[in-house]
Amino acid sequence: MNVLGQLAEIVGGEMIITGVAEMASATEDWRGRYHGAALCVTRPADTTQVSEIVACCHRHGVPVLPQGGNTGLVGGSVPASTGVAPVIVSLDRMRRIRSVDPVNSTIEVEAGCVLANVHDAAKSANRFYPVSLGSEGSCQIGGTIATNAGGTSVLRYGTTRDNVLGLEVVLPDGTIWSGLTGLRKNNTGYDLKHLFIGSEGTLGIITAAVLKLHPFPARTAVAWAGLDCPEDALKMLTLIQGTYGAKLSGFELMNRLQLDLVVKHVPQRRSPIETEHDWHLLIELSDSGGEGDLDEALQAVLEKGFSAELVANAVIAASEAQRAALWEVRHSVSEANKKAGVGLTTDCAVPVSATADFISKATENVHAIAPAASVVVVGHVGDGNIHFIPFFTFDAWNGLAERDALSLRIRHAVNDVAAALGGTFSAEHGVGQVQLAEMDRYKQPAELALMRVVKAAIDPKGLFNPGRLLPNT
Amino acid sequence: MNVLGQLAEIVGGEMIITGVAEMASATEDWRGRYHGAALCVTRPADTTQVSEIVACCHRHGVPVLPQGGNTGLVGGSVPASTGVAPVIVSLDRMRRIRSVDPVNSTIEVEAGCVLANVHDAAKSANRFYPVSLGSEGSCQIGGTIATNAGGTSVLRYGTTRDNVLGLEVVLPDGTIWSGLTGLRKNNTGYDLKHLFIGSEGTLGIITAAVLKLHPFPARTAVAWAGLDCPEDALKMLTLIQGTYGAKLSGFELMNRLQLDLVVKHVPQRRSPIETEHDWHLLIELSDSGGEGDLDEALQAVLEKGFSAELVANAVIAASEAQRAALWEVRHSVSEANKKAGVGLTTDCAVPVSATADFISKATENVHAIAPAASVVVVGHVGDGNIHFIPFFTFDAWNGLAERDALSLRIRHAVNDVAAALGGTFSAEHGVGQVQLAEMDRYKQPAELALMRVVKAAIDPKGLFNPGRLLPNT
């Protein structure tokens, strides 16, 4: 019996999809940028079926592509258009919340759970799962783990990696590794879960996880501040962290152009402050309980900022609706930029202390190559993660010659600055297929060699998500 | 030229120690329990020398044992007494604080830095490195990373693993991997640092690290509470976390016998509360700044505990000296137990919600085997990490037959309960040589196989700290 026949015996014929049109949502990314071919899409019901599927592919030497919500930004969950077409293993039927333990502050979930459903399940136990993304209504928890998703709450709660306690993984030969521990401390050999977190489906299929929960942040205060320069944002960061430490849960920077694009292109968005400023900060304090008024605390620290001439103007949201409105301005960035023109989004992180330097040098580099580009800056400056976006109007872009080559030169001009400052070309989006050239350009040979050794040890046949994450695999 | 000659050319003859007596502090652990033989101790001055030493050993097929302060509890940093004697690579000369970046909240240190010196360097920049251990005056930062050290601040700040951002590692063939990033976010391939953290010297030598710093906790409040049972401690934990979230920085449980042993055997220690209780809690709140009185906050939550009949009596420290005195009771545990008799220390962690169950079932199991044992309990209950210590007076112990076999049966009786509750036999001490049998007993074969595959990939000649961490390596 051929592979498809064997797979149908495992999951049932109706859970094997082979029509090109029916597979389109799995073989193409949501923005329509990357396309590929698959042998089929399989939809297993449980971990045992995943294991049997993988063992079958292993016997036949057929590549395997694990897939969650397919919401990534770097083409990591889309198959290649050349080479042996893989079996796509969709986790979408494995969406059970297995258990919530409020005393241990943990939740055990299957990989196909949509992130927003994890939020809801945690909240119903008065707990908080902090990883929050624009795609949280459709991305799956397994995908957020396989890509170590970031988002706007990393400053306070860390990335996905910091919120995973245990994993269940089907290894490339079909073996199930059940590491579903909910322990805070466990020093018994190599910490294998960290190998799979962020491995983008190249080492196995994550089928379930135990996640760390936090006390629910019942109280929040949000402010919007206008500033003269990124240096002042860093000084405000130090000031607030020194005073409120772990209460600082949001610290997002954008430049004037980014705010203008949001106001112009997204309905119902308006500038939170009336005066004009070159730079803008969204600041959030939150707390799970305790005494004292957070709005007053935020007011006090902003007043210190005024006195030190770090902040030019600021408003504090006076209601839940106003707090949401400030965050909506921040969350409208992707929509605005897509409507306004062509942005060459980068995803650098540098040491927090180097962010102002990064922005100024990257601007200089980009203008030297492409004088027609303007620069949009939006980022999680509290983590040193700046989305620096050389930006063109549609007209300006269409008037340019050799756009692909120019894009690449511009991206490198930005990423080179990050690298020189001890930074990275991919803070949160990952590598996928888009950043493979950057891996070769910026990673030490010793580090790439070590990654290859690990890949070859765990996936010796090289069947898992080939051609992704590591160049030339 | 032989190995010793080549090593002398690398580090200079005076930095090669070969005399058995001169090597004793490196070939024996600090408690005198484990002994072994070494070819020599080398004391490199920098990472280049470490690399050359390792490359030399790799060429000659000589085992390598990286060594920090040699303060571990499981014999992981002491060579074996059989097999090929290793070259011990001591990091003690590599003790530079390379840099502190207060805005990025990071510090770059060489592996041989004593932990207390890292604390001091951070504090001088008004920052805090949270990992704190009894041995902090002599343990080295490299050793704390290689063993993923825990301690009393894990509840608030995580283990060492959670506080390492970047590593520099000399790999088993002498290659230097320089991963000294100070980034909060970096999604560019497998996260290799997590392989080396907790690997107990079996995958390479950590030569330097970038550590995450935190705002200095300028304000603290400490209370001592008497309770009826561990269940009430868990309810207090939920109550305090719900109210004060990240401000809860210490939550340590001990039973009456543990407190009695401290009071009886350690000079100047006395019971913090006058009334007698079966169980005792040390509770610490801390904050880096902000408003409000932490003592009042602690008072308020203790009053809630009284009302709910979770707390029978409590005192709040009224001064820095009183706070220190409460912590001294907790930190006198090892000294007291050593003086009072023979304790078979275990290092289990279970889900926090299962700690009361663990204590009661382990007590039952131990009494079934050894009716003469009493039970000492002390632990980081906020992390689910309980040091459950079956305890004998010297007389009772000396009167027992076949003590080694009995010790093993007792340890298994305790660890079996942890395993059945989804727990671990080693929360923070590691595996070393002492817990190898437990690895075989409790780890899934699939997990051990995966660890062996990783070990073979990174150290194919099996030269690094052989016979440690993994059974039969």
Residue from A319, A387, A358, A393 nearest A150 by CA = A387
For A335-420, which CATH class? alpha beta
Give the one of A182, A430, A431 whose C-beta lies nearest to B351's C-beta. Answer: A182
Alpha-carbon distance values, A230 to A235, A358, A407, A425, B436 (Å): 9, 10, 26, 20, 53
B290 has pLDDT over 70? no
| Predicted confidence band of residue A241 (pLDDT cuts 50, 70, 90) | confident
Q: What fold characterizes domain B341-458? A: Alpha-Beta Plaits (3.30.70)
Does A301 contact B at CB distance below 8 Å? no
Mean pLDDT in residue range B232-251 = 90
Average pLDDT over residues A195-208: 98
A387 touches B at CB < 8 Å: no
**Tens-place pLDDT, residues A300-318:** 999 999 999 999 999 999 9
pLDDT-based confidence at B435, cuts 50/70/90? very high
**By the CB < 8 Å criterion, does A421 face chain B?**
no
Same fold, A97-215 and A335-420: no
Cβ-in-10-Å burial (0-12, 13-18, 19+) of B219 comes to: middle
Q: Which of A174-188, B125-139, B257-271 has the lowest mean pLDDT?
A: B125-139
| Chain B partners within 8 Å of A439 (Cβ) | 188-189
**A&B contacts, CB < 8 Å:** 298
pLDDT band at A151, cuts 50/70/90?
A: confident
Confidence at residue A290, expressed as pLDDT on a 0 to 100 scale: 64
Asked if B289's CB is within 8 angstroms of A244's CB, the reply is yes
Task: Tell me how far apart the alpha carbons of residues B288 and B246 are, in angstroms, rounded to a whole number.
Answer: 11
For the segment A149-165, the average pLDDT, to the nearest whole number, is 94
Is A424 an interface residue toward B (CB < 8 Å)? yes
First-to-last C-alpha distance (Å) of chain B: 29
Residue of A188, A211, A238, A458 to mutate when probing chain B, most B C-beta within 10 A: A188
pLDDT at position A454, please? 98
- Measured between beta carbons, the chain B residues lying within 8 angstroms of A54 are none
A330 band by pLDDT with thresholds 50, 70 and 90? very high
Residue A323 has what pLDDT? 96
- Report the alpha-carbon distance of residue A175 to residue A321 in Å, rounded: 50
So what's the pLDDT on residue A243?
A: 81
B84-126 pLDDT per residue, tens: 999 999 999 999 999 999 999 999 999 999 999 999 999 999 9
In this structure, the number of other CB atoms found within 10 A of the CB of residue A289 comes to 19
Q: Which helix (H) or strand (E) holds A356?
A: helix A355-369
Those residues with Cβ within 8 angstroms of residue B400's Cβ, 6 or more apart along the chain or in another chain? B372, B392, B406
Q: Which residues contact B59 (CB under 8 A, 6 or more apart)?
A: none
Q: End-to-end CA distance of chain A: give it in Å, rounded.
A: 29
SS3 A416: helix
Structure tokens at B162: 């959670």
Each residue's pLDDT tens digit, A397-437: 999 999 999 999 999 999 999 999 999 999 999 999 999 99
For residue B324, pLDDT beyond 90: yes
Question: Does A429 lie at the interface with B, CB-CB under 8 angstroms?
Answer: yes
Give the Cα separation of A154 and A423 in Å (integer): 17
The model's pLDDT over B154-170, given as tens digits with 9 standing for 90+, comes to 999 999 999 999 999 99
Chain A residues closer than 8 Å to B456 by CB: 457
Give the distance from residue B342's alpha carbon to the nearest chain A alpha carbon, in angstroms. Answer: 24
Query: Cβ of A470 under 8 Å from any chain B Cβ?
Result: yes
Task: Write phi, then psi, for B372 (nearest 5 degrees).
Answer: -80, -10
Contact A189 B469 (CB under 8 A): yes
Burial B434-458 (b: 16+ CB within 10 A, else e): bbbebbeebbeeebbebbbbbbebb
pLDDT-derived band at B240 (thresholds 50, 70, 90) equals: very high
CATH tag for A219-330 (out of 3.30.460.80, 3.30.70.2190, 3.50.50.60, 3.30.1360.170): 3.30.70.2190
Whether A339 shows a pLDDT value over 80: the answer reads yes
Are residues B344 and B403 in contact, defined by beta-carbon separation less than 8 angstroms?
A: no
d(CA A434, CA A472) in angstroms, rounded, equals 13
Model pLDDT, residue A284 = 96
Which pLDDT value is given to residue A197?
98
pLDDT of residue B243: 81
Binned at pLDDT 50, 70 and 90, residue B1 comes out as confident
Q: CB–CB of A192 and B450 under 8 A?
A: yes
Structural domain boundaries in chain A: 3-90, 97-215, 219-330, 335-420
- Out of B190, B446, B470, the one facing A454 most closely (by C-beta) is B190
pLDDT of residue A32: 85
Based on C-alpha coordinates, what's the Rg of chain A?
A: 23
Tell me the pLDDT tens digit for each residue of A444-464: 999 999 999 999 999 999 999
Q: Which of A102-106, A149-153, B191-195 comes out lowest in average pLDDT?
A: A149-153
Nearest to B427 among A159, A186, A458 (CB): A186
Chain B contact present for A199, CB below 8 A: yes
pLDDT at B305 over 80: yes
> What gap in Å lies between CA A50 and CA A68, rounded to an integer?
14
Q: Which CATH number fits domain B219-328: 1.10.10.10, 3.30.70.2190, 3.30.200.20, 2.60.40.3080?
A: 3.30.70.2190
Q: CATH number for B97-215: choose from 3.90.180.10, 3.30.1330.40, 3.30.465.10, 3.20.20.150.
A: 3.30.465.10
What pLDDT is stored for residue A352 in this prediction?
A: 96
Q: How far is CA B356 from the centre of its chain?
A: 22
- Give the CATH architecture of domain A3-90: 2-Layer Sandwich (3.30)
Which of A157, A159, A190 to probe by mutation at the B interface, max B CB count within 10 Å? A190
Q: What is the pLDDT of residues A33-86, one digit of tens each?
A: 899 999 999 999 999 999 999 999 999 999 999 999 999 999 999 999 899 999
Residue A21: count of CB within 10 angstroms of its CB: 7
Q: What is the mean pLDDT of residues A198-203?
A: 98
Q: State pLDDT tens for residues A250-295.
A: 999 999 999 999 999 999 999 999 999 999 999 999 987 666 789 9
